[in-house]
Amino acid sequence: MYTQALNTSDGEDRNVEDAARSQQFQARIDAEERIEPNDWMPAAYRKTLTRQISQHAHSEVVGMLPEGNWITRAPTLRRKVALLAKVQDECGHGLYLYAAAETLGSSREELVDAMLAGKAKYSSIFNYPTLTWADIGTIGWLVDGAAIMNQIPLCRCSYGPYARAMIRVCKEESFHQRQGYEIMLTLCRGSEEQKAMAQDALNRWWWPVLMMFGPPDATSQHSDTSTKWKIKRFSNDELRQKFVDATVPQAQFLGLTIPDPGMTQDAGGHWRYSDIDWTEFKQVLAGNGPCNRERMAARRKAHEEGAWVREAAAAYAEKRKTRQLAQAAE
Amino acid sequence: MATPNTTLWEVFIRSRNGLAHKHCGSLHAADATMALQAARDIYTRRGEGLSIWVVPSNAITASDPSEKGMMFEPAESKIYRHPTFYDVPEEVGHM
């Protein structure tokens, strides 16, 4: 994905705003043209996308932790291979997204370091624990379901490399949601205890999942320019409503109760949910969720313990290069 | 850390016999062998390919988008390069 290595106009005007160019840029966006890495773009567009895509990549990588927690304890071999494949996909998604973010001019190392230093965020949903096997079903069904709602419009995002990465991600993501729902269905058709376990998981995940769509439209700080630049095609509240409308019948089919006694269906068929507790969202975002510290510690440990592998691979590549040069000179 | 940034590679995959290799993304790896292995893991988890090429990104020379007009416009005006430019009476049949 044509990265910074191909940026021909390094330095020149890259971060300088230029009214005429900005206008031309907006005209291209309005005409639904895709912006590619070497095209001129406003510095703020570059910055917004770097932030959004790298946070998305960090989320995929951190997202491996809560589910990885259950790989060794999956109830059957069938569930185990499926979960393993799913976690492997999340890693792949992280890598597609890092590559897309790098096309904007930051190096992989810079992006990863920002995350490990706690300067870059990841989706707060991954700061909740996976206490039972039903949590794995619920994550696939609801967390991946919500992610798909968010990601499908991103396949038409104005920035080419991001849109292309999202197309790949969305294709693979639908298996994730289906395997999750199948786990829930099996539990709900099982014993009373299994059904209670499924209900308990839904009770714990429902509200955090609704928060995944971000703050309400009235308070969201990034929405206006992102909409103008066609990075964002639907507002947070629109996507949240779409998700709720799609999910309620799925929960009814399972025979589970959504933990929102105030929920009603309006005349238009939309399910109206109660007010969301945004103080919880802010707390988790600020680092005070149930697993924030654990997740960061796990990522830092993995990075530090992998350092010798990166160093050895670099040293080996260097040695081989030197040897080849010496042979060529003989 | 003193380790230099890991080399960037562009990945091209041939999906079926008879089709050309197509660019599908990029990855970081210390050398070509590791780049091939990583490409297999990242880009062919669902049987997407029968053949993989990896190329160091800095080996690619790209056209400059600001010279797009100079590069490609001359082709746009040459409509006589397309079969539909020529009139063939219907009676002649498919040609």
B51 reaches A (C-beta below 8 A): no
Q: What is the mean pLDDT of residues B31-56?
A: 94
pLDDT confidence band for B48 (50 / 70 / 90): confident
Query: Buried b vs exposed e over B51-65: b needs ≥16 C-beta within 10 Å?
Result: ebebeebeeeeeeee
Question: Does position A89 have pLDDT exceeding 50, yes or no?
Answer: yes
What integer pLDDT is reported at residue A221 of this predicted model? 64
Contact assignment for A38 to B8 by CB distance below 8 Å: no
Q: What is the mean pLDDT of residues A139-150?
A: 96
Q: Give chain A positions within 8 Å (CB) of B62.
A: 2, 6, 8, 38
Contact assignment for A5 to B28 by CB distance below 8 Å: no
Q: Give chain B positions within 8 Å (CB) of A168.
A: 25
Query: Residue A13, Cβ neighbours under 10 Å: how many?
Result: 11
Predicted TM-score (pTM) of the model is: 0.89
Q: CA nearest A106 in B: which residue?
A: B5
pLDDT mean across residues, chain B: 89
pLDDT confidence band for A4 (50 / 70 / 90): very low
Contact assignment for A109 to B46 by CB distance below 8 Å: no
Contact assignment for B25 to A96 by CB distance below 8 Å: yes
What is the phi/psi pair of residue B18, to 5°?
Answer: 95, -15
Report in angstroms the alpha-carbon separations of B71 from A1, A36, A38, A321. Answer: 22, 17, 16, 37
Does the ipTM surpass 0.90?
no
Per the model's pLDDT, the better-predicted residue between A224 and B26 turns out to be B26
pLDDT confidence band for A1 (50 / 70 / 90): very low
Do residues B26 and B10 touch, judged by C-beta distance below 8 A? Answer: yes
What integer pLDDT is reported at residue B73 of this predicted model? 85
pLDDT confidence band for B4 (50 / 70 / 90): low
A304 reaches B (C-beta below 8 A): no
Burial label for A149, CB within 10 Å (0-12, 13-18, 19+), is buried
What integer pLDDT is reported at residue A255 of this predicted model? 98
Question: Does position B29 have pLDDT exceeding 60, yes or no?
Answer: yes
pLDDT confidence band for A17 (50 / 70 / 90): low
What integer pLDDT is reported at residue A18 of this predicted model? 80
- Six-digit token string for A123: 């989706």
Contacting residues for A30 by C-beta, under 8 A, at least 6 apart: none
* Residues above pLDDT 70, as percent of chain A: 94
Q: Give chain B positions within 8 Å (CB) of A2.
A: 10, 57, 60, 62
Rounded distance between C-alpha atoms, residue B28 and residue B8, angstroms: 5
Largest CA distance in chain B: 76
Secondary structure class of A221 (helix, strand, coil): coil
B37 reaches A (C-beta below 8 A): no
**What does the pLDDT look like over A242-262, one tens digit per residue?**
999 999 999 999 999 999 999
Strand (E) or helix (H) holding A62: helix A43-62
Contact assignment for A5 to B62 by CB distance below 8 Å: no
Query: Residues A173, A176, A182, A184: is their CA dihedral positive or negative?
Result: negative
Contact assignment for B42 to A92 by CB distance below 8 Å: yes
Question: Does position B1 have pLDDT exceeding 70, yes or no?
Answer: no
